[in-house]
Structure 1
């Protein structure tokens, strides 16, 4: 059975109901302080932590005095704009006493679907983690339209877990896991401690969208579980209402764990391998040797660019004889790649007019 203490890179999703008091619209400061204690302890043992947090609309609603009833789209967007500042400040104030630097990342589901934006998001969060920063991620509800509905941050958290290559995702919620039926209306419903594989029978246990304790119900959580587990990330649905919810999960609190179907690196490599290449990059002997030693592909080692491709698309990497070495996601368009091939990374800004990525294809985005 999966345990939280085994995690190397952890994504924690926090629902609005946990963070904001439904009656007053005020931040549950004591709860957030306890969560910060949990995060600091987990980070101290070497685990990267990324927080995906709802709450901007709920906080903004309270600040603006908007009703607790359903809001018009424009009101939701305005509430998100006001609440997001308060939300980011709250996390900063809670984590700073532990010596933890926080950084805000606002994304939409589309950022994981567009390859160029996906690569940018991934590179930014990887850099933040490398610098010791804890990213606080939220959906960009200020400009979102159909994304504004409760439960989407379950899917967003799964997408973030895939993007950063997390091995565990925890959805802190107002339910303690998945049951064979809705326990509120079926006394015979049984709690599932672990789900080895998502099957149609398991998915049917989620009921319809209105059957859960939140608007999205269990359905969005099972969608998140499928996204995460197929990418090599184990996922837990855990009750988060009490103080120190992650500590309680570590101590064996009731939850449902969904087993990863592979490991994150293998899943990512398989995804890249399955994509159709849009061009070819020929490298010299020095670059070929560097690739086989786990290095990224730099412009200096490239001798030829063939084909037409955009940023984030897949290219085949070949040696001087045309033998395929592998394929990967390229960080420049074909036109830009032709301009900088054979040149040092330090010359990119002078050639292109902007300071781009040092690597043409990063080692994490390449399959040999």
Structure 2
């Protein structure tokens, strides 16, 4: 069964919708699109699927309620507007969900809910309980209290985190962009949509607007980052046009809509999903070709001998990314050494480690043990 066809069997689905789909502009909500979204979610739930919505739009709704037409620059003002708008947005959702016979459950998350393992577990259990009760969770980041240090990030990243958290089968990102194109369709009329991306390569990242890109496709890089998380957590992701009629039904019927990012492996055990996608990334380790091959083909632990360089201010127990020399992420994991310690070990065989370290109680041969690592390739 192909990746598209497998969507027909998807049981638990996370749907993310952006502000551009929910609003015409600051303070002007697109009730037509919102009603069609809700109707699609309820219809899929009535079919026997479990649906979760990650929704933007709180600030757009708040601006309208406060009679403002432009989003301010200061964080306190944005937080105040989000606090007003979140209630307004939920009121709209509750009204439409009630019209179609479903209960909406508001959930506000912050990075702290995923960084701490016990909160990660509790968040998962609460969401699963809502689904068991027949409610549809409507999730947003708690913008009224979050600052950069505890933000998950954009809502594309939030949706991928939620999909990982609840062990979803599929993540559908509804956007004003139809999918990933060979170039920016706004400036390149000849651009063609890419219907399937089996692997997030450096070329795909550049195409989406990453480092070295000359033709970013407008807001696509955050979606590629979300896809990287989803695919490696065993979740199939689709970017699809949010304004299209019956878009959820068509995607889940396996039709060739938007861009599909097929899941790479079976669903991760809960602890591994937390290691890779719940904890904050504190640094990067760049490895040589031999180490890259051993990790890709054998799932080997990461040893100091294969490390070329280390970036970031991480400490023992932090989560870091493992990168190839050309910048492709191949793994994430929990390090057994802080950066200061590791700088003395890079490129060295274990037998050449300082004698004091070798005799240390709790000494670890591996920089990252395979049990504390998730491959991203």
Common fold by TM > 0.5: yes
Change (3 A) 1:198 1:208: closer
- CA apart distance, 1:260: 0.1
SS at match of 1:135: strand
CA contact (8 A) 2:120 2:165 kept: yes
28, 50, 63: which one aligns with 1:61 = 63
CA-atom RMSD, angstroms? Answer: 2.6
In structure 2, the partner of 1:190 is 192
Q: Supply the distance in 2 between the matched residues of 1:46 and 1:72 (Cα, whole angstroms).
A: 44
Change (3 A) 1:176 1:227: same
Q: Supply the distance in 2 between the matched residues of 1:86 and 1:207 (Cα, whole angstroms).
A: 34
SS at match of 1:165: coil
In structure 2, the partner of 1:30 is 32
In structure 1, the partner of 2:22 is 19
In structure 1, the partner of 2:358 is none
Residue-by-residue CA offset, 1:82-108 (whole Å, 9 max, x unaligned): 000111111111111222111110002
- Aligned residue pairs, count: 270
CA contact (8 A) 2:104 2:138 kept: yes
CA contact (8 A) 1:170 1:235 kept: yes
Q: Does 1:260 align with 2:263?
A: yes
Q: Supply the distance in 1 between the matched residues of 2:188 and 2:152 (Cα, whole angstroms).
A: 25
Q: Supply the distance in 1 between the matched residues of 2:177 and 2:151 (Cα, whole angstroms).
A: 18
6, 9, 14: which one aligns with 2:12 = 9
Change (3 A) 1:246 1:58: same
CA contact (8 A) 1:63 1:83 kept: yes
TM-score, reference length from structure 2: 0.66
In structure 2, the partner of 1:111 is 113
SS at match of 1:232: coil
- Identify unmatched segments of 5+ residues in structure 2: 277-377
Q: Supply the distance in 2 between the matched residues of 1:33 and 1:134 (Cα, whole angstroms).
A: 15
Residue-by-residue CA offset, 1:213-265 (whole Å, 9 max, x unaligned): 75xx111101000111100000011111234432353563630000001122x
In structure 2, the partner of 1:308 is none
Change (3 A) 1:184 1:149: farther
Change (3 A) 1:25 1:225: same
- CA apart distance, 1:131: 1.0
Q: Supply the distance in 1 between the matched residues of 2:103 and 2:161 (Cα, whole angstroms).
A: 23
In structure 2, the partner of 1:166 is 168
